[in-house]
Amino acid sequence: MLLVSSILGVTTELSWVGATMQQTVPWVGTVRIEFVEVTPERVVLRLPDDPALRNHVGGPHAAMIFGVGETATGAVTLAAFASTMERATPLPVRSEIAYQRIARGPLTAVAALGRPAEDVIAELESGTRPEFDVDVTITDGEGRETTRMTVVWTLRPSR
């Protein structure tokens, strides 16, 4: 699994993102989320199928679907804004989710930063508390799109 990307012309190894999230967000390890790809612009996560996490119709429970999607948005936020962590805390502000069909099997969540990280950082540096969208598409084990969601994040300046 290659987790190397380039931002602003600097190559950065990002395997620490998954390990950090598993340590700081115990649920991530509990449900065994796999970090397939991590870049500052896009993250791909996989949630294995587990009968203990299913709903009444045999698919992953809505909480699991939301959870893998929100985790993907957090991972791309962490990767994109790692350089700001000493002066700002990333926090989700609000989310919207659309369940389009019943999911079956393992889930794959692909999250993409909605605008350039440089623009968000410039807002932070200007004294504004920036907000930015992270869009997610979730597919099931058959490769069918089952869910779309958007999570709006902010970088709250440290006090």
User: What does the alpha-carbon distance between residue 116 and residue 68 come to, in Å, rounded to a whole number?
Assistant: 23
The whole-number pLDDT of residue 74 equals 97
The whole-number pLDDT of residue 12 equals 59
pLDDT in tens, 100-145: 999 999 999 999 999 999 999 999 999 999 999 999 999 999 999 9
Q: Are strands 88-99 and 145-157 parallel, antiparallel or unpaired?
A: antiparallel
Domain count, the chain: 1
Structural domain of 80: 10-157
Whether 105 is covered by a domain: the verdict is yes
User: What does the alpha-carbon distance between residue 92 and residue 140 come to, in Å, rounded to a whole number?
Assistant: 25
Query: To 5 degrees, how large is the angle CA 12–CA 138–CA 153?
Result: 55
**CATH code at 109?**
3.10.129.10
Whether 134 is covered by a domain: the verdict is yes
Is 5 within 8 Å of 43 (Cβ atoms)? no
Task: Kindly state the percentage of the chain with pLDDT values over 70.
Answer: 92
The whole-number pLDDT of residue 13 equals 82
pLDDT in tens, 57-88: 999 999 999 999 999 999 999 999 999 999 99
pTM of the model: 0.90
